[in-house]
Amino acid sequence: MAVNRKTRGAARIVRKAAFSIGVVFALAGPAAQAETLADALASAYQNSGLLDQNRALLRAADEDVAGAVAALRPILNFTANVTRNFGTSRSTGNVGGIVSGLDSTQADMGLVASLLLYDGGAASLDVEAAKETVLATRQRLVSVEQQILLRAVVAYLSVYANRDAVQLRQNNLRLLSEELRAAQDRFEVGEVTRTDVAQAEASLAQARSGLATAQGDLQQAIEEYQNVIGRQPGQIAPPPQLPRLEGDVEAARALAVRTHPDLQEAQHRVAASEINIQRAESALKPTISAVGSLGITDDLESRDYSNSGTIGIELSQPIYRGGALSSTIRRAIAARDAELGNLYEVRKTVSQDVGNAYAALAARRASLSASEERIRAARIAFRGVREEATLGARTTLDVLDAEQELLDAETARISDEANLYIAAYGVLDATGRLTAQNLNLGVQQYDPTAYYNLAKDAPTTTSEQGRQLDRVLRSLQRN
């Protein structure tokens, strides 16, 4: 009688275990109307405040070019003032003297114009340095874009993996509950000891703790997803195929050294610092400007008025400023040397990051392959134990132990798969190709040249080009 009860209990557990395995396998199946990784990346690109911040910084750099260009153009100022004079004067030429009032009201208006003719190339160098800074800032924007998209990849895969992990642990908890009931039944008929029941209770408590931890990890992943992607995650589709990567790490390293945005930014900053040295040296040269003025003075208490005008050429050149100009040149040279040092370090860092990314990718591939092999072996073991249990050669605990091993292998596989995708996109980031353009995201991409082309000529607000700039700025404002 005890043997029959034992066999029926094992068969019941086997049926539940087989059902749970089916649920585990179904987790990897495609979900209808699920959000894809491309959808998540597109949303992160559109909703990133950090991208908006750096786009605004780029527009500010564009305006620095406009400001430098404006220095080469004529400057026209309007002046106006009204002056009230008052007082008295006394003449002692006559007996007793004559006292007269000095009260008068006078209005002055004028136009003052100046045009820089020559300054040793300083103003033109300012324009060139500002352009190099714009190019560096554009590359900084690309680097930030890569950071945002890589963070979005991690957020997406974290939700995907943690949801599956929670479901696996829920199944595990149900199985251990059955194991505890089976152990209690067998204890009642004297097949096991109280120690066996206590072990089953401890395993169940551990499973509950593991489920609570997995649920906490999932909630944190959801919070990160909402922060990065801009909305709560719905159904998450399984990851797509891995992105195409260079098979040779040295080829990838050579590509990164040519195209990585961090390295290009550093190169443009070196170029700007070289120009700044020339700019500092040009301050020692003479400055020639054409100046002119028109003015009118009107005595408001009479009909008297006068007007005048001047035109001329001004020449100035510093002779001695206490060593300030020489100090400025030395400072510019030191700043250039600092940028050269930064360029050297960035080149080494980019090269190292590529090597690290490929090493991580190889490790993740090996780990996933090992997990697949572990699943294959655990599945064979589970099927064998299940068949033996139906014949009475295995206990219910043996079946559940085999089931637990298979579930653990599935959990490890989910984590390894997510880590493999993160490593693959990490390679794209290390080589400078994790951008909306290279990923072909279905999103309106930000054109860094559109604003620059409108602003570089320093249009006034009343010109047509200036009005276009105003419209562009309004369109960029978040609601």
- β-pairing verdict for 287-299 and 104-118: antiparallel
Helix, strand, coil % over all residues of the chain, rounded to 5 = 65, 15, 20
Burial (0-12, 13-18, 19+ Cβ within 10 Å), 110: middle
Instruction: Write phi, then psi, for 337 (nearest 5 degrees).
Output: -60, -35
Structure tokens that stand for 271 in this block: 């170029």
- pLDDT of the residue at 155: 96
Q: In this predicted structure, what is the pLDDT of residue 403?
A: 77
Low-confidence ranges of the chain (pLDDT < 70): 1-32, 92-97, 99-101, 395-396, 478-479
Q: Which residues does 160 contact at the CB level (< 8 Å), separation at least 6?
A: 236, 238, 239, 418
62, 134 in Cβ contact below 8 A?
Answer: yes
CA dist., res. 145 & res. 49, Å (int): 11
pTM to 2 decimals?
0.82
What pLDDT digit, counting tens, does each position of 108-149 carry? 899 999 999 999 999 999 999 999 999 999 999 999 999 999
Provide the pLDDT for residue 24. 41
Closest CA to 20 of 418, 416, 381, 399: 399
Give start and end residues of each alpha helix (H) in 189-260: 194-229, 249-259
| All domains of the chain in start order, with CATH | 2-73+119-283+318-446 (1.20.1600.10), 75-118+287-317 (2.20.200)
Give the per-residue pLDDT at 396: 63
